[in-house]
Amino acid sequence: MLIVLVAVSGIFSSCDKGFKDLNTSVDFVSNPTLDFLLPYVQLTMVDKNYYTQTYYAAAYASQINTNVSFPSITAYKSTEMSEHWVWIYRNPLKNIVDLIERCEDDPSRINYLSIGRILKVYLFHSLTDSYGDIPYFEAIKGYSGGITTPKYDPQQKIYEDMFKELTEAIAAFTPSKTNPGSADIVYNGDIAKWKKFANSLMLRLALRIVKVDPANAKKYAEQAIAGGLLASNSDNFVVNYTTQISGTGTTSNGTAHTWISSSYITTYRFAQPFVDSLKLRNDPRTSVYCMRVKLPLSSYQEGNHDPAVQRGRDQFAQTVPRDSASVANIRTFGRYAAPFIHLSYAQVQFQLAELAVRGIVTGDAKAYYENGVKAAMSQLSIFGNDGWNPGGVITTAQQDAYLAANPYDPADALKQINTQYWIETFPNYYEAWANMRRSGYPDTYSALDRTLSSNLGAELPRRLYYPRDEYASNPGNINDAVSRQGQDLTSTRVWWDKP
Amino acid sequence: MRLAITSLKMLVILFTTLWTFSSSAQSRSITISGVVTDAAGAPLSGVNVNVKGTSTSTSTDVKGAYSIAASNQRPTLVFTFVGMAPQELVAHNSQLNVQMVVAGKEMEGVVVTALNIKKNPRSLGYSVAQLDGSRVNTVQTPNLVNALSGKIAGVDVGNIANGVAGSKRVVIRGATSLTGDNNPLWVIDGVPINSSSLGGLANNTPEGGYDYGDGLTGVNPDDIESISVLKGNAAAALYGSRASNGVILVTTKSGRSAGGKTSVDFSSSLMLDQLYDLSNFQNVYGQSSINQLNGRELPTSADNAKGSDSWGHIMDGTPAPQFDGVVRPFSPVKNIYKDFFRTGSTITNTVSLYGSNANHDYRISVSDLRNKDIVPNSNYARTSVNTKTHSKFGKMDVDLVINYTFDKANNRPYIGGNHDNSLYSLLYLPNTIGLETLKPGYDSLGRELLYTQGVSNPFYVINKEKEADSKNRLMASATLKYEISNWLYVRGRITRDYYLSKRLQYIPDGNASSSFPYNSPSNIGGIFNQRAVESSSNEYEVLVGINPGLKGKFGVNGFVGGNISSRASSQLIESGNTFIVPDVYTFNNLKTKLPSTSESRRRTNSVFGSLELSYNKFLYLTLTGRNDWFSTLPLDNNNLFYPAASLSFVFSDAFNLPAAISFAKFRASTAQVSGDTDPYQLDLSYSLDAFTYNNTLPLQLIGTSNIPNKKLKPLLSTDYEMGLEMDFLQNRIGFEASYYSRQIKDDIVRTGVSSATGYSTAVLNVGKMENSGLELLVRGTPVKTKNFSWDITATFTKNNNKVVALGDGVMGVPIVLATSKSGNAFVRLTEGERYGGIYGFSYTIDSATGQKIYDSRGFPLVNSTAKYLGNSTYDKMFGFSNTFNYKNLSLYLFVDAKFGADIYSETNATAYKNGKHMATLFGREEGFIAEGLNQAGEKNTVMVMPDNLSSYYNQIGNISEQFIYDASFVKLREVALRYRFTNRILDKIGFANASVSLVARNLLTIYKDKNLENVDPESNIAANNQQGIERMGYPATRNYGLTIKFTIK
């Protein structure tokens, strides 16, 4: 009897001995290395799948044809349309917010903290520009704050906070403290460049709200300029990718997937307005961007780069046979190792040009414009290092000839500037589309043949649908957002998007 | 912790009391004698007679007489004889005559309960359903679970559309956990086995995957002697947390029935599986052409003939080029499903050798199953060796069970909304493309032959892609029971369920969906995944029990014990992509190698006790208690004590009831069971990306997509149950009825959350859920004559499963259980609603007139606020079995019916979108104006032109409401016609027993929703809680076959 009691209580006394070790996973670590986390975030700032960015944003921006009619492209297609949302929240944002939270109370990590805050603003602005009101203040607090149903915030509040974050982050940089060095795969820990990037991002955001909140647009544009903007292409925020294998891997450029995967054969082609705008101006970038596919279409292979044969496919009607339309150049953008430019000196120059035209800042709009065009052509040299001659290099002579043939026209300045911005931002589809909505240029929809049913109701879409999952998992908050912002349709305008 | 100490104290007090009580027996020697006879009154010689609890034994002489001395005043004598049921009788005086009955008859009087303790059913205060082995092995199914459907009240068996070797779903008395595993604990010969789904669809994503089956595909139905189902908490509580969903106890056959000889049983069966083609798609319009101005024109080149949809030209036989460049008439191809699938077959052979003598018995069976799936190139095989022995060495009982199973599958069918699923490919296949033109699925360079993008060639999938897995599984237990004295015993047990599984899967280069860049000249591509999965589940248990027998009219027995349950699994994963040398599909031949490992360990420590008090063999009270410590929960909140009590009152013995009532019993019980969750859910963890940047810089990220929770605590399930069991007219008719109610609180829930949290799911202690219901079993023999009898068994179950709360005090957030691939329908738990609501998007209706509203294109307007559309779980179930016996012939008919569930059909939604649904024929030539209002509230006048028809039907394809169907059904589930050979014939051929049966399963759907086209109502593809969504699941089949059984002695 005693033996039994001893045996039983023996089990009892060691009832949870060793449980802590047992319930600690041996496959993972519980403390991250910030220098490994940061490059992961930088590499994942671009969607690693092509669904939302190509199927919707690129098609809306008239840069790429996706082989469907306008009614189809604005119909509910939830899984594809939510990929951008899901990607940004669950990958780069989640990890950068974690980095921020790990640096907040550590003064020695102040530079990491500022970098984190700037990247967070960058990621959020692309989300809110695409969807409108989104979870912001309560977002990414699933673990740290236990918030499983984050509230949707009005876009205006999000913009206010993004300006505040950028201002504070720039001010907080302390050169004497540790910087990430080579773990920062964009700027190699160069704090001066980070400041320029943050100010240039502020400039982008300022111009975005120019119609809805001109006072703040002016205020932040001036602040950004005073703080110092990207001053040359060597300041560009460029993420270099490294691999040709495994399409969706972290180290490969997600935008290339559009061209390389099976879609090469039957889906994606450059859209007519985009190729036309290059060819119309005899643009030396035509052959850097485009190539004609080589027939028969049985494999992914080098095509014809001759600018003369490049052709875009009409956006929705598809009267142009696919086989005679251009795809991305396999040596530049059509490869997984293609770099991705998130923000460039050229963009900054175009924005300054527009601000000057609008009289918000003083300056020579023509000079800004020309600087922008030249920089947009020069920057392509980073794409052409894949054994293709002449690579992406566009000579100064070619740049000057282009400007000579297409001189700055003050009477048509906004159209000119924003059309150049549109060409320059390929394949940053979200940015190209957002700027089209804000500026109204280029107008690629008015000229569509309305007698064709595939063009039925074709107007520039103003936003993306929210993910269907939100109606299931966060119903109260999404319904609040919809009642505040307007119906969850692609025709509903976001806050800054005024007619 | 304090509770645990209290419970232990309680058990100690209990024990001490019992000790005093039982040792009050006095000792004085007496001699008892008597005669042992068989049922016919003939003397039995060689019967072993033992004074219980002592080594004093003797055996009967040729006249059946014995004489034995006992030191106890009223000793218990144990009579054992091979082939006969052992008997324990108390000698009230010096004379004791005994009549032995053949084993089997008397065995019905014993029920296997928790911890493999056998009890008299009279004593049970809770519902235990017993099912004889013949009920599950007459009509052979590769998975035992299928054979349970409808046969036990309160047990819902899902016939999941995932193929022969796929995992199955069983839910007892409704879902007990909001999002957790709701499948019961399976215990086979005392071994709690890992019956969870072995992967693939376990975390079912809309994209689907392979279903590697569950732990039960390895059980051979021929070996089963009986199945006990412990439904409520009181019945199952002694198994602890793993029993909160109920327990299914399987007892395999032993050698006891051999009757002193050695016998050999043979059983052989052949089942044929035939596609039950439910498809009824339009056969008028063909493939949409692409790269032409209008998809409705005939293709003019091969590249035009590469549409994936069927919005094309009318199939009028005009010659037109097809995707392969060959010009063929643009005409319909029929019967693609029948032509693609083949007749499947399952051949099962079992040989068992068994024997016994007075102290030992054994059974060894060898079984072999070969299955050929209806999907070409897919097959499954299983070989098992089961041994079971029992030996008695004086006071020591030794039971050994060793079951070894090897199973192997090749090219399991791919399940779900993915292009690797053949049914997905066939659903898209335009009517104009013949299957022959797609064969063999690849070109001379091995590249996938495609007629369109994004839809696989089903022949490529079955001929070139490869899936292979095998599993070695050992389930074993050793039980030692030692009788310390005639009232005290100690039992120790070790059980182990172990398997090692290897899985290989590859998709060769040249595959359209995984080769990057597509078909490039360097021919890179291909995906490879190989893994070794090791799993073990061990139990160590010691218990000390007392069984002092009756003291006057009072009886007592009980035990206390402790248990350690540990489970571990590990995986070595070798995956990667891009094969270097063509046609060599090994890990070593990969350009990019991505190996990884994963490991999971958990343990539960427990102490428990049970005490049964009885009065005059008609009133029984049982009290049990258990305390568990869980390794998966935070250290400061990892244990819980939970008690149970049950009462049984056989009032037909207590009172003088009318003679028509042969038996009547009332029972009542209440109990609690606790539970935990999966390991490693408390903290955030970080993993490294498979790639490094520039081959130097490691990339790190938060490795979990689930929000961890440091504050988890054990869940608690509380239930009560009442029941009445009565038999009338000498057991010609009888019933068992139960009412139960169960409430679960602090459930540990894994719920889908907004991506804006940064995660996809969260683990939370929330909620309260209730189940209540009625179960009724009626059995009877309406006709019984010398040559003819008719037996019926009917079961009825009504379960109400309600989600009471999902938050603590505040309104909780709905929990998402499942989402359709399109995202248009999802299964959600909402406070105050029935469990498993299906939600989705509906038509926008004008509230005043009830008419649909159309937009400026003339398309129906989608109401984007998700609405409740139906429910995914059945709440009413019927089973009705009939057995007709005429001389040596018997006919068994079993009807299975379920009501109250709905299903969202992704097949039909997809068929609307791609133009294959019958309904999409409307308006193809002329267009139409849909009946309804426009957004201004006026009559809709917008004409939908034929060119816009595809967009119109696409829009409807997103309106979930259109694709919700009632999933109720009545099916003729099993039919068996058996002929048992007469003794005259048997004597001639020298067999002891022989029968031949013609059997069939799923012969006929007697009733289903008439609107449900193209799919079967039982088309759920997931064995977990993701019910209510049909997603191009495995097709329905009818099964026919033959079973032959015979015994040689």
- For residues A244 and B523, give the distance between their C-alpha atoms in angstroms, rounded to a whole number: 13
The residues in A 252-281 lying below 8 A from B, measured between CB atoms, are 260-267
Q: Establish if B1033 touches chain A: CB-CB under 8 angstroms.
A: no
pLDDT band at A245 (very low <50, low <70, confident <90, very high): low
Which residue in chain B is spatially nearest to A145 when comparing CA positions?
B757
Among candidate residues B112, B69, B78, the one with its CA nearest the CA of residue B483: B78
Winning range, highest mean pLDDT, from A342-356, B403-417, B762-776, B974-988: A342-356
pLDDT at B863: 83
pLDDT band at B311 (very low <50, low <70, confident <90, very high): very high
From chain A, pick out residues whose CB is under 8 angstroms from the CB of B452.
266
Each residue of B703-725: pLDDT tens digit? 889 999 988 999 899 999 999 99
Using CB atoms, which residue from A32, A148, A300 is nearest to B517?
A: A300
Using a cut of 0.90, tell me whether the model's pTM lies above it.
no
Phi, psi at residue B428, to the nearest 5°?
A: -85, -30
pLDDT band at B523 (very low <50, low <70, confident <90, very high): very low
Encoded tokens for A86: 């899901």
CB contact under 8 A, A7 and B542: yes
DSSP structure class, residue B1019 = -
Residue B78 class from Cβ within 10 Å (0-12 exposed, 13-18 middle, 19+ buried)? middle
A18-32, A115-129, B473-487: which has the minimum mean pLDDT?
Answer: A18-32
A164-168, B513-517, B549-553: which has the minimum mean pLDDT?
Answer: B513-517
Q: Establish if A71 touches chain B: CB-CB under 8 angstroms.
A: yes
pLDDT beyond 50 at B19: no
From chain A, pick out residues whose CB is under 8 angstroms from the CB of B824.
76, 78, 468
A12/B449: higher pLDDT:
B449
The residues in B 814-853 lying below 8 A from A, measured between CB atoms, are 814, 816, 819, 821-824, 826, 828, 839, 841
Tell me the Cα Rg of chain B.
Answer: 32
Average confidence (pLDDT) over B339-361: 92
DSSP structure class, residue B285 = B
Mean of per-residue pLDDT scores for chain B: 86
DSSP structure class, residue A91 = I
Which residue in chain B is spatially nearest to A4 when comparing CA positions?
B544
pLDDT beyond 60 at A12: no
Average confidence (pLDDT) over B584-593: 89
pLDDT at A98: 96
Distance from CA of B467 to the nearest CA of A (A): 21
From chain B, pick out residues whose CB is under 8 angstroms from the CB of A457.
856-857
Mutation pick from B520, B638, B693 vs chain A, by most beta carbons of A within 10 Å, is: B693
Q: Establish if A243 touches chain B: CB-CB under 8 angstroms.
A: yes
From chain B, pick out residues whose CB is under 8 angstroms from the CB of A473.
751-754, 813-814, 816
CB contact under 8 A, B700 and A33: yes
- Bridge partners (DSSP) listed for residue B229: B129, B248
Using CB atoms, which residue from B290, B638, B753 is nearest to A19?
A: B638
Distance from CA of B631 to the nearest CA of A (A): 5
CB contact under 8 A, A27 and B839: no
From chain B, pick out residues whose CB is under 8 angstroms from the CB of A25.
599, 679-680, 685
The residues in A 207-236 lying below 8 A from B, measured between CB atoms, are none
pLDDT band at B204 (very low <50, low <70, confident <90, very high): very low
- For residues B425 and B465, give the distance between their C-alpha atoms in angstroms, rounded to a whole number: 15
Q: Name A483's Cβ contacts closer than 8 Å, sequence gap at least 6.
A: none
Cβ(A442)–Cβ(A415) below 8 Å:
yes
pLDDT beyond 80 at B769: yes
Residue B832 class from Cβ within 10 Å (0-12 exposed, 13-18 middle, 19+ buried)? exposed
pLDDT band at A219 (very low <50, low <70, confident <90, very high): very high
Distance from CA of B279 to the nearest CA of A (A): 26
- For residues B298 and B322, give the distance between their C-alpha atoms in angstroms, rounded to a whole number: 10
Mutation pick from B13, B607, B755 vs chain A, by most beta carbons of A within 10 Å, is: B755
Among candidate residues B926, B939, B961, the one with its CA nearest the CA of residue B858: B939
pLDDT band at B558 (very low <50, low <70, confident <90, very high): very high
H-state helical runs in A267-322: 272-280, 286-289
From chain B, pick out residues whose CB is under 8 angstroms from the CB of A311.
none
Average confidence (pLDDT) over B431-459: 88
A204-208, B242-246, B418-422, B940-944: which has the minimum mean pLDDT?
Answer: B418-422
- Bridge partners (DSSP) listed for residue B409: B380, B469
Average confidence (pLDDT) over B924-945: 92
Encoded tokens for A23: 């319930």
pLDDT beyond 70 at B958: yes
CB contact under 8 A, A16 and B954: no
The CA-atom distances, in angstroms, between B886 and each of A40, B280, B391, B790 are: 76, 42, 40, 9
Winning range, highest mean pLDDT, from A313-322, B101-110, B507-516: A313-322
> SS3 of A133, please?
coil
pLDDT at B100: 79
pLDDT beyond 90 at A155: yes
Using CB atoms, which residue from A94, A245, A300 is nearest to B592?
A: A245
Distance from CA of A342 to the nearest CA of B (A): 19
Encoded tokens for A313: 């496919």
Share of chain B above pLDDT 90, in %: 47
Q: Establish if A451 touches chain B: CB-CB under 8 angstroms.
A: no
From chain A, pick out residues whose CB is under 8 angstroms from the CB of B630.
19
Average confidence (pLDDT) over B548-559: 88
From chain B, pick out residues whose CB is under 8 angstroms from the CB of A15.
1, 4, 605, 629, 639
The residues in A 334-363 lying below 8 A from B, measured between CB atoms, are 336
CB contact under 8 A, B954 and A72: yes
Average confidence (pLDDT) over B742-763: 89
pLDDT at B16: 42
pLDDT at B104: 46
pLDDT band at A177 (very low <50, low <70, confident <90, very high): very high
- For residues A119 and A198, give the distance between their C-alpha atoms in angstroms, rounded to a whole number: 9
Which residue in chain B is spatially nearest to A70 when comparing CA positions?
B951
Each residue of B541-553: pLDDT tens digit? 999 999 887 788 8
A67-76, A310-319, B516-525, B964-973: which has the minimum mean pLDDT?
Answer: B516-525
Average confidence (pLDDT) over B953-978: 93
Phi, psi at residue B640, to the nearest 5°?
A: -155, 140
pLDDT at B893: 94
Encoded tokens for B276: 């039950």
From chain B, pick out residues whose CB is under 8 angstroms from the CB of A262.
453-454, 512-513, 515, 518
pLDDT at A452: 78
Average confidence (pLDDT) over B212-219: 77
Among candidate residues B296, B151, B122, B211, the one with its CA nearest the CA of residue B1020: B211
pLDDT at B28: 60
Report the alpha-carbon angle B452-B454-B459, nearest 5: 70
pLDDT band at B203 (very low <50, low <70, confident <90, very high): very low
> SS3 of A497, please?
coil
CB contact under 8 A, A39 and B699: yes
Q: Establish if B759 touches chain A: CB-CB under 8 angstroms.
A: yes
CB pairs under 8 A between A and B: 316
DSSP structure class, residue A142 = T
Place of tokens 């201002």: A167
Q: Establish if A26 touches chain B: CB-CB under 8 angstroms.
A: yes
pLDDT band at A61 (very low <50, low <70, confident <90, very high): very high
- For residues A425 and A343, give the distance between their C-alpha atoms in angstroms, rounded to a whole number: 9
Encoded tokens for B65: 């007489």
Q: At what angle do helices A110-131 and A155-172 cross, to 10 degrees?
A: 160
Cβ(A259)–Cβ(A289) below 8 Å:
no
pLDDT beyond 60 at B24: no
Element of type H or E holding B408: strand B396-410
pLDDT beyond 80 at B103: no
Residues shown for chain A: 499
Q: Establish if A395 touches chain B: CB-CB under 8 angstroms.
A: no
Mutation pick from A73, A468, A490 vs chain B, by most beta carbons of B within 10 Å, is: A468
From chain B, pick out residues whose CB is under 8 angstroms from the CB of A50.
none
Which residue in chain B is spatially nearest to A90 when comparing CA positions?
B758
What's the one-letter identity of residue A59?
A
pLDDT beyond 60 at B205: no
Each residue of B993-1003: pLDDT tens digit? 899 999 999 99
A22-36, B73-87, B635-649, B980-994: which has the minimum mean pLDDT?
Answer: B73-87
pLDDT band at B11 (very low <50, low <70, confident <90, very high): very low
pLDDT at A1: 41
Buried b (16+ CB within 10 A) or exposed e, B402-425: bbebebbbbbbbbbbbbbbbbbbb
H-state helical runs in A247-344: 257-260, 263-266, 272-280, 286-289
Q: Name A331's Cβ contacts closer than 8 Å, sequence gap at least 6.
A: A302, A383, A384, A386, A387, A388, A391
Q: Establish if A297 touches chain B: CB-CB under 8 angstroms.
A: yes
CB contact under 8 A, A79 and B859: no
pLDDT at B268: 93
pLDDT beyond 50 at B4: no
Cβ(B119)–Cβ(B113) below 8 Å:
yes
Using CB atoms, which residue from A79, A260, A318 is nearest to B822?
A: A79
A102/B60: higher pLDDT:
A102
Mutation pick from A136, A262, A488 vs chain B, by most beta carbons of B within 10 Å, is: A262
CB contact under 8 A, A78 and B822: yes
CB contact under 8 A, B518 and A185: no
pLDDT band at B453 (very low <50, low <70, confident <90, very high): confident
pLDDT beyond 70 at B41: no
pLDDT beyond 70 at B300: yes
Tally of CB atoms within 10 A around B659: 9
Average confidence (pLDDT) over B407-429: 85
Winning range, highest mean pLDDT, from B105-109, B457-461, B526-530: B457-461
